[in-house]
């Protein structure tokens, strides 16, 4: 084989692609009732759009971005996530002049240079939503409600909803200091990975799977105790609203986000059926990002759903059904071939899926092909049928056959 696809990307083929189409159409229908409209930002941006928002020291920016220089020497990056481009577009197109809140969704590919594994690709796809201009915690709850409803409608079960508040620029530094102080006394019992986390992103130590670090977590200071009154009140209200909407959730004080722009609410939806990369969807608030991008102060929040992971879960639950042709023409003789050629064109024009056989092979061979294609009906035409002005139909599921006049084909098929 001369060429292969690049590592970590894949071809999306039928019948799986049918499932993707279903998911996309559910997205459009379902999100619309929450007032979300589609936005289609480009798949590439100036590199700073990502490095300034996601955080210079995050893994994504440090080692996972597809970055290159265009012919004018500018640094361009294939989007590793969707929020930053949408925020950029929100500001550039003055969408903040429209009545708040402004709610948008997008569907499309993201790119991260990582080692592929189950549920993790270098080109993957997200359904993302962003809502701008509303700080009320009911907006957070509304968004989780939409996410919950969407996943339910997609037919997925056994999901865990976790929420947390990581505070704001006022209270988070205080917690960070407290945690650093605590961990500084315990460096001896940290695993090698956590020694690195201690320097880079200490909050992540709480998330460690190693035995020693886990027991440390019990005694570590908790973010909940360090939230300022604003953040604490916001979080408490959110929990109340989630209860009111009967959204089952768990508070996970160890939950951390990998992107720097998050403030206050963060959340994650996971499934045990996914393997090690178990997050189906995740998101949170980013109340300062619009301002940092040069827009007016605008509270905002959003989430993204991993489409590959979502489709994996749906496939596991109900598989994929392959659509089949309605009619497969089987002909004997030139005259019959010509007739079926014309008929097929007309039928297709009326929306019937018709397949033709150009092989000129034996009747049995043509019928076998009709069967292999999974067609519902074989339409058989030979000299007898032509002189009688009929087609002979054979229902492939049970072999029942008979004749139908050519004018009566559509009624026979239940078309119109």
Partner RNA sequence: GUGGGCGUAGCUCAAUGGUUAGAGCACUGGACUGUGGCUCCAGGGGUUGGGGGUUCGAGUCCCCUCGCUCACCCCA
Of residues 352-371, those binding RNA (CB under 7 A): 359, 361-365, 367-371
Does 384 bind RNA (CB under 7 A)? Our answer is yes
Site for RNA in 183-202 (CB under 7 A): 193, 197, 201
In the bound state with RNA, the residue whose beta carbon lies nearer, of 278 and 291, is 278
Q: Is 372 in the site for RNA (CB under 7 A)?
A: yes
Binding mask 4-43 for RNA (x = CB under 7 A): xx-xx-x---------------------------------
Residues in the chain: 416
**Site for RNA contains 78 (CB under 7 A):** no
337-340, long-range: CB within 8 Å, 24+ apart, which pairs? 339/381, 339/386, 340/379, 340/381
By the rule CB under 7 A, 259 interacts with RNA: yes
Residue closer to RNA by CB (options 138, 288) is 288
CB of 98 to RNA, least distance (A): 27
Q: Is 85 in the site for RNA (CB under 7 A)?
A: no
By CB under 7 A, residue 120 contacts RNA: yes
- Binding to RNA in span 205-234, by CB under 7 A: 207-210
CA dist 208 and 218 (Å) reads 12
What minimum distance in Å lies between the beta carbon of 363 and RNA? Answer: 4
Tokens of 404: 């139908």
Site residue total, RNA (CB under 7 A): 72
Which of 89, 151, 206, 305 contacts RNA by CB under 7 A? 305
Helical pair 137-153 and 229-244, crossing angle rounded to 10 deg: 40
- At residue 7, φ and ψ (nearest 5 deg) are -55, 135
Contact between 204 and RNA (CB under 7 A)?
yes
Query: At a CB cut-off of 8 Å and minimum separation 6, what does 33 contact?
Result: none
Among 2, 71, 94, 115, binds RNA (CB under 7 A): 115
Residue 383 interacting with RNA (CB under 7 A) = yes
Stretch that binds RNA, among 131-139, 288-296, 313-321, 389-397 (CB under 7 A): 389-397
Which range in 26-34, 88-96, 136-144, 278-286 contacts RNA by CB under 7 A? Answer: 278-286
- Residues 175-180: contacts with CB under 8 Å, at least 24 apart: 175/221, 175/223, 175/226, 176/202, 176/203, 178/221, 178/226, 179/203, 179/205, 179/220, 179/221
Calculate the alpha carbon distances from 9 to 5, 121, 312 in Å. Answer: 7, 6, 16
* Nearest Cα to Cα of residue 52 among 304, 289, 301, 266: 289
Cβ proximity to RNA, 89 vs 313, nearer residue = 313
Beta-carbon contacts of 372 under 8 Å, excluding residues fewer than 6 positions away, are: none
Residues between 309 and 338 with contacts to RNA, criterion CB under 7 A: 309, 332
Among 100, 252, 253, 277, binds RNA (CB under 7 A): 277
Whole-number minimum distance, CB 259 to RNA, in Å?
6
94 counts as binding RNA under rule CB under 7 A: no
Question: DSSP states of 380-410 as a string?
Answer: EE-HHHHHHTEEEEEETTT--EEEEEGGGHH
Q: Which residue in 258, 320, 353, 412 binds RNA (CB under 7 A)? A: 258
256 binds RNA, rule: CB under 7 A: yes
CA 305 to chain centre: 4
In whole angstroms, give the CA distance from residue 176 to residue 194: 15
DSSP conformation class of 70:
-
132 contacts 300 by C-beta, under 8 angstroms: yes
């Amino acid at each position: 084989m001369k060429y292969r696809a690049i590592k970590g990307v894949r071809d999306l083929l039928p019948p799986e692609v049918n499932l993707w189409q279903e998911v996309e159409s559910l997205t459009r229908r379902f999100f619309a009732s929450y007032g979300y409209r589609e936005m289609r930002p480009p798949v590439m941006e100036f590199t700073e759009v990502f490095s300034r928002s996601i955080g210079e020291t995050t893994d994504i920016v440090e080692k996972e971005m597809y970055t290159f220089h265009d012919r004018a020497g500018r640094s361009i990056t294939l989007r590793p996530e969707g929020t930053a481009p949408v925020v950029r577009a929100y500001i550039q197109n003055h969408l903040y002049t429209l009545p708040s809140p402004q709610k948008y969704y997008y569907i499309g590919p993201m790119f991260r240079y990582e080692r592929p594994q189950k549920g993790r690709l270098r080109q993957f796809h997200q359904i993302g939503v962003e809502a701008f201009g509303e700080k009320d915690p009911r907006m957070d709850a509304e968004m989780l409600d939409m996410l919950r409803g969407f996943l339910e409608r997609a037919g997925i079960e056994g999901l865990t909803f976790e929420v947390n508040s990581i505070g704001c620029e006022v209270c988070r530094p205080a917690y960070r200091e407290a945690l650093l102080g605590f961990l500084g006394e315990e460096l001896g019992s940290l695993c090698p990975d956590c020694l690195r986390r201690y320097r880079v992103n200490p909050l992540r130590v709480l998330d460690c799977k190693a035995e020693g670090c886990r027991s440390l977590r019990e005694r570590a200071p908790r973010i909940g105790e360090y939230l300022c009154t604003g953040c604490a009140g916001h979080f408490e209200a959110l929990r109340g609203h989630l209860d009111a909407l009967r959204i089952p959730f768990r508070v996970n004080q160890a939950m951390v986000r990998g992107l720097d722009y998050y403030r206050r609410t963060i959340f994650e939806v996971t499934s045990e059926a996914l393997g090690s990369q178990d997050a189906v969807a995740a998101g949170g608030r980013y109340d300062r990002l619009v301002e940092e991008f040069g827009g007016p102060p605008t509270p905002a929040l959003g989430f993204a759903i991993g489409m590959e992971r979502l489709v994996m879960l749906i496939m596991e639950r109900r598989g994929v059904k392959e659509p089949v042709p309605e009619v497969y023409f089987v002909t004997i003789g030139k005259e019959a071939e010509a007739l079926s050629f014309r008929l097929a064109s007309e039928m297709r024009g009326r929306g019937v899926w018709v397949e033709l056989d150009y092989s000129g092979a034996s009747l049995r061979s043509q019928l076998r092909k009709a069967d292999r294609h999974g067609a519902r009906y074989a339409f058989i035409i030979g000299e007898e049928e032509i002189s009688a002005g009929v087609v002979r139909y054979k229902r492939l599921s049970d072999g029942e056959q008979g004749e139908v006049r050519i004018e009566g084909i559509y009624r026979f098929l239940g078309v119109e």
